[in-house]
Structure 1
Amino acid sequence: MNLHDDSPPGAVRAAFERQTVELPVAVLRPHRPLVASATHCKKFLQVLASVATLGLVEPLVVIQERDAEGYYVVLDGRLRLEAFRRLGKESAICLFATADETYTYNRHVNRLTAGQDARMIAQAVRRGVSQERIAAVLGVNERTVKAKVKLLTGIGHDVAALLADKNCPAATYEILKSMRPLRQLEAAELMCSQDNFSSAFARAIKLATPPEQLIYVPASNEGKDEAVQEQIDRLEREIASLQTKVTDVEERYGVEHMHLAVSLSYVTTLLENKDIRSWLTINAPGHYANLHDSVTLAGPRSRSRQVMR
Structure 2
Amino acid sequence: MKTPLPGSSVPLSFEHMSLRIPITEILPLKQLPAAVLKSVKYAQIAASIAEVGIIEPPVVIRDRYQHDKFHLLDGHVRLDVLAKRGEVDVVCLVATEDEAYTYNRRISRLATIQEHKMILKAIEKGVPEERLARALNVNIGSIRHKKNLLDGMCPEAIDLLKEKHVPINTIGELRKMKPMRQIEAVGLMIVMNKFTVTYAKSLVAATSDSMLVSPKKKIAGLTEDQISLMEQESATLDREFKTIEKDYGSDHLDLVIAVGFVKRIIASARVVRHLAQFHPDILSEFTKMTAIRRAA
- Scaled by the length of structure 1, the TM-score of the pair is 0.50
Distance (whole Å) between structure 2 residues aligned to residue 146 and residue 241 of structure 1: 39
1:93 to 86, 95, 104: 86
Q: Give the AA of the match of 2:185.
A: A
Residues 71-82 of structure 1: matches in 2 within 5 Å? none
Deviation of the 1:154 alpha carbon: 0.9
1:223 to 209, 221, 224: 221
Distance (whole Å) between structure 1 residues aligned to residue 40 and residue 166 of structure 2: 20
Alpha carbons 1:118, 1:151 under 8 Å: kept: yes
Counterpart in the other structure of 2:177? 179
Q: Residues 186 and 237 (structure 1 numbering): CA distance in 2 closer, same or farther, change over 3 Å?
A: closer
Q: What's the CA shift string for 1:156-200, capped at 9, x where partnerless?
A: 111111111111111111111111111111212222222221122
Distance (whole Å) between structure 1 residues aligned to residue 156 and residue 42 of structure 2: 35
Q: Give the AA of the match of 1:204.
A: S
Distance (whole Å) between structure 2 residues aligned to residue 193 and residue 241 of structure 1: 11
2:115 to 111, 114, 117: 117
Q: Give the aligned CA root-mean-square deviation in angstroms.
A: 4.7
Q: Residues 45 and 163 (structure 1 numbering): CA distance in 2 closer, same or farther, change over 3 Å?
A: closer
Structure 2 regions of 5+ residues with no counterpart? 1-22, 27-33, 56-76, 89-107, 277-282, 291-296
Residues 264-303 of structure 1: matches in 2 within 5 Å? 284=270, 287=273
Distance (whole Å) between structure 2 residues aligned to residue 118 and residue 255 of structure 1: 41
Q: What's the CA shift string for 1:199-240, capped at 9, x where partnerless?
A: 222112111211111111123356333664565455456555
Q: Residues 49 and 212 (structure 1 numbering): CA distance in 2 closer, same or farther, change over 3 Å?
A: same
Alpha carbons 1:56, 1:93 under 8 Å: kept: no
Structure 1 regions of 5+ residues with no counterpart? 1-15, 20-31, 33-37, 58-75, 81-90, 96-109, 272-279, 299-309
Q: Give the AA of the match of 1:93.
A: G
Q: Residues 224 and 167 (structure 1 numbering): CA distance in 2 closer, same or farther, change over 3 Å?
A: same
Q: Residues 180 and 234 (structure 1 numbering): CA distance in 2 closer, same or farther, change over 3 Å?
A: closer
Counterpart in the other structure of 2:3? none
Alpha carbons 1:162, 1:188 under 8 Å: kept: yes
Q: Give the AA of the match of 2:152.
A: G
Matched residue count: 204
Q: Residues 250 and 217 (structure 1 numbering): CA distance in 2 closer, same or farther, change over 3 Å?
A: same
Distance (whole Å) between structure 1 residues aligned to residue 43 and residue 247 of structure 2: 49
Counterpart in the other structure of 1:163? 161
Counterpart in the other structure of 1:212? 210
Counterpart in the other structure of 2:130? 132
Deviation of the 1:142 alpha carbon: 0.8
Counterpart in the other structure of 1:197? 195
Deviation of the 1:153 alpha carbon: 0.8
Distance (whole Å) between structure 2 residues aligned to residue 48 and residue 236 of structure 1: 46
Deviation of the 1:144 alpha carbon: 0.5
Alpha carbons 1:172, 1:202 under 8 Å: kept: yes
Q: What's the CA shift string for 1:11-48, capped at 9, x where partnerless?
A: xxxxx8449xxxxxxxxxxxx9xxxxx8xx96687478
1:145 to 130, 136, 143: 143
Distance (whole Å) between structure 1 residues aligned to residue 227 and residue 241 of structure 2: 21
Q: What's the CA shift string for 1:114-155, capped at 9, x where partnerless?
A: 122112212322332221111111111111100000000111
Instruction: Give the percent of matched residue pairs that are identical in Structure 1 and Structure 2.
Output: 24
Distance (whole Å) between structure 2 residues aligned to residue 245 and residue 126 of structure 1: 44
